[in-house]
Chains A and B, each alone.
Chain A
Amino acid sequence: MTFLLRRAAFYLVTLWAAITANFLLPRLLPGDPVQAMITKLGGRLNSDAMASLYILFGLDEKKSIWAQYVDYWGALLRGDLGLSFTFFPTPVADVLSQSLPWTLGLVGVTTVIAFLLGTLMGVYAGWKRGSWMDSLIPVTTFLSSIPYFWLGLIAISVFSVTFPLLPASGGYAAGLVPEWSGEFIGSVLEHAVLPGVTIVVSSVAGWILGMRNMMVTVTAEDYVLVARAKGLSQRRIMFAYAARNAVLPSISGFALSLGFIVGGALLVEMVFSYPGLGYVLFQGIGAKDYPLMQGVFLVITLAVLVANLLADVGYLLLDPRTRREG
């Protein structure tokens, strides 16, 4: 328990540092949001409107950086991340809460699927070395070496243009209202197939390779030989003795990839115009939408921290040697 508490303290400090960096970065950039807004609107603002914008963004009074920092924390704790320019005047928090479920649903689920599928295939490939599974590896490695946007574009051109089987873009069919109905959920699933499959195809090779190689290493260990001598079933030896030990390095890799779900969604969501966080970030960068970018970075930071925490807990559960006390 003390171990978990120490880890928690470590994460709190990291969180504080990340949020502080997040506060400082935009303030180190030249210009201010109102200037950016004026540029965006092409100078069609009179001076009154500009003055009210300065008041709106809280830039009318010259505050010390420390006071701004305190205000920033206060706003953050209230869940107030400011207003987005791109989707003006929607609050950033609302933009994030609308797009985050899409990203988690698509990229999160496919990352988990790719990990489970790749690891399982790696277990079998490493256990039955030299079987047909081994010839699968060059294929999957080739697929993962294709740049993702290219793979996505090919998938779109084949499966929604040449053979119009699946929708090419969006998160659900235009004209539907997001609700818990069979029709809407069906449409969401249909739209998720192409981006989902391309993500799995391009990322599964890494898991297969890593797991296969660890399996090959672990099956040479004495305890696997002992398990065979004990006359245990092949299943039991493969999973409880070999794979259980071989999966440990993959776990930390998996946790890292969970942390990059939010950040890594950018390319997928651009190619498929998917209404997730990556697409929002893409739009925000195009419009120099600092509050929005700040909000997205905050979410990414939190995601990485949570993923690391999960990895710590997972390691504790899977590897008794990392448990400090008896």
Chain B
Amino acid sequence: MSPVLEIRDLSVDYGSLRAVHDVSLTLNAGEVLGLAGESGSGKSTLAYAATRLLQPPGRVPSGEVLFKGHDLLSLTEKQLQVLRWNEIAIVFQGAMNALNPVISVGTQIDDVLRTHRPSMSRPERAARGRELLSLVGIPVDRLSSYPHQLSGGMRQRVMIAMALALEPEIVIMDEPTTALDVVVQRQILGQMMRLRETLGFSIVFITHDISLLVEFSDRIAIMYGGRVVEEAPASEIYRAAKHPYSQGLLSSFPALRGPRRELRGIPGSPPDLRSMPAGCPFHPRCPSAMDVCGERMPALEPVGERRRVACWLEGVHGLDTDSNGAPAV
């Protein structure tokens, strides 16, 4: 698998607060990469910073985002504008407020085509709009509807249709189904995965709902306090999460399949950016915290073939213990 998007050591600051710390992630062609974490973990900030959509006072002090050999962070606004939506489209929470309330959905789709495909004639663009709506299963006469005339699920489908208008390489989905009920949620995600198979794009799927990620993504990166704390194939995370925070997240949601488990949740609340705990940011809430956790931040190191974990419980960190750092969980 070849990488389509490589984020290297990306940091994001809001004023003097660091919201994302040196995150490195790779999105491979045709893959669904899940980004999980609580509110404020930096997952959306990371996605917006990587696509240069961060609003001031947010800024990127260091890092690279490589797309097809170009660093997105050093492109000019003009070069970037050509790339936007053509190569990287974003599915926002369309059910809420991502569609302009005073313009018909057809015009909003047409806006994309008119900007990026100036050679298309008006009837061609209209035909493409109808094609896109039928792709996501919306009656084509809805093209002239306004967002308030559509249900939440339909608005989200319109958002997806719009994202696919230019057949992008990458689709970033930021909490795409959070405001929808569970049935519609699954319909839409299922549809999205089928479309991915036919059209062959890669997906970055951002959500706090790790059970959805386990089901729909290939690989999952779990973020806490602006850092990736664990990254592994979805099945491995589900089967044996290594980081205590990943384990906590998994036990916060009911399992979709398999035996019943007790829902436990994670005690405490996410860290405040203004007063990050020293050492590992998770240690005040961690059930297996040790002395070293409050002193030094563990690096994100490979554990086994396809997994990376940032935790002192993992032996590879060279902790001088007799037990050779066997996981205590």
Query: Would you call B99 an interface residue if the criterion is a C-beta within 8 Å of the partner chain's C-beta atoms?
Result: yes
- Residues of chain A within 8 A (CB-CB) of B84 are 228-231
A230 touching B85, Cβ below 8 Å: yes
Nearest residue (CB) in B for A130 is B56
Contact of B101 among A225, A231, A245 (CB under 8 A): A245
Known contacts: A229-B53, A229-B90, A231-B82. The answer to whether A223 contacts B98 by CB under 8 A is: yes
Interface string of B216-228 (1 = CB under 8 A from A): 0000000000000
B72 to chain A, nearest CB (A): 13
- Residues of chain B within 8 A (CB-CB) of A228 are 53, 84
Q: How far apart are the CA atoms of A326 and B146 in the complex, in Å?
A: 9
Interface string of A200-235 (1 = CB under 8 A from B): 000000000000000000001111011111111100
Query: Would you call A244 an interface residue if the criterion is a C-beta within 8 Å of the partner chain's C-beta atoms?
Result: yes
A320 touching B101, Cβ below 8 Å: yes
- Residues of chain A within 8 A (CB-CB) of B97 are 221-223
Q: How many pairs, one residue from A and one from B, have CB atoms within 8 Å of each other in the complex?
A: 81
B111 touching A244, Cβ below 8 Å: no
- Residues of chain A within 8 A (CB-CB) of B112 are 230-232
B82 touching A245, Cβ below 8 Å: no
B93 touching A230, Cβ below 8 Å: no
B89 touching A229, Cβ below 8 Å: yes
Query: Would you call A62 an interface residue if the criterion is a C-beta within 8 Å of the partner chain's C-beta atoms?
Result: no
Interface string of B99-138 (1 = CB under 8 A from A): 1111110000001100110000000000000000000000
For the complex, would chain A's binding face be called helix, strand, loop or mixed by DSSP majority?
Answer: helix
Query: Would you call B96 an interface residue if the criterion is a C-beta within 8 Å of the partner chain's C-beta atoms?
Result: yes
Query: Would you call A154 an interface residue if the criterion is a C-beta within 8 Å of the partner chain's C-beta atoms?
Result: no
Q: How far apart are the CA atoms of A236 and B81 in the complex, in Å?
A: 13
- Residues of chain A within 8 A (CB-CB) of B111 are 227, 230, 232, 236, 240
Q: How far apart are the CA atoms of A240 and B112 in the complex, in Å?
A: 13
Query: Would you call B51 an interface residue if the criterion is a C-beta within 8 Å of the partner chain's C-beta atoms?
Result: yes
B321 to chain A, nearest CB (A): 48
Contact of A222 among B83, B86, B92, B115 (CB under 8 A): B92
B310 to chain A, nearest CB (A): 30
28 A-B residue pairs with Cβ-Cβ distance under 8 Å, sorted by A, are A222-B98, A223-B98, A223-B99, A223-B101, A225-B55, A225-B92, A226-B90, A226-B98, A226-B100, A227-B111, A228-B84, A229-B51, A230-B112, A231-B83, A231-B85, A233-B81, A233-B115, A236-B111, A240-B103, A241-B100, A244-B103, A245-B101, A245-B102, A318-B102, A319-B101, A319-B102, A320-B101, A320-B104
**A225-B98, A233-B115 provided; 15 other pairs, C-beta below 8 A?**
A221-B97, A223-B101, A227-B100, A231-B80, A231-B83, A231-B112, A232-B115, A241-B103, A244-B102, A244-B103, A245-B102, A248-B102, A320-B101, A321-B146, A326-B149
